[in-house]
Structure 1
Amino acid sequence: MLQQEQMFAGDPQLRINPKHIPLIEKELGDSLTAHGWKVVADNSIHVGGCRVVTNDGDLDSTIATRWHELCRLAAPGGVVMTARLGRWLENSLMQNLV
């Protein structure tokens, strides 16, 4: 998949929380390097999330984005409720990191 997917061509980066660097390098480092990927520490990404950055675009799989999408799909209150919940989740996550 790393080679076949067009989006992942052109200097792809896997951006993750610095706490995940040792695990990712141990488990996936050789494969990612062989396919031209760089693993980048990013303090703005909470533990458990990641972001793929390429020349053609980004793929956001951060915790906040996944929760936001899940709530958007499930919430009967629609977009307004989802936006409020998204802000609450982001604030809660930030407080837990301090």
Structure 2
Amino acid sequence: MTETIQAVLDELRATALDERDKGDRFERLIHAYLTNDPEWTARFTDVWLWSDWPGRDGRPNTGIDLVAANRDGDGLTAIQCKFYGPGHKVAKADIDSIVSASEGVG
């Protein structure tokens, strides 16, 4: 059975215990997508959840959700996953935290 991405997202929203659980589930979904989709596996050799990234060195979570090793050998990519509602418009403030948090990663 093939599900649309909208159906998957609706299921995540409906079954999440709370906002934290919803975010954690969304991060795992994006991790699975980036490690299985041919377009992204062509770009990244590895993708880790922040808590599993070997280079974390005990640093707390400051907004980075995933870290990916670039296949071209040019360092790492910090990824922030946001599970906003359908009508949300991304603002500069939404982006500022990942830019700040990604300094020193890669």
| Structure 1 length-normalised TM | 0.29
Relative contact order higher in (CA < 8 Å, ≥ 6 apart): 1
The structure that has the greater radius of gyration is 1
| Structure 2 length-normalised TM | 0.27
Which structure shows the bigger proportion of residues in helix conformation?
1
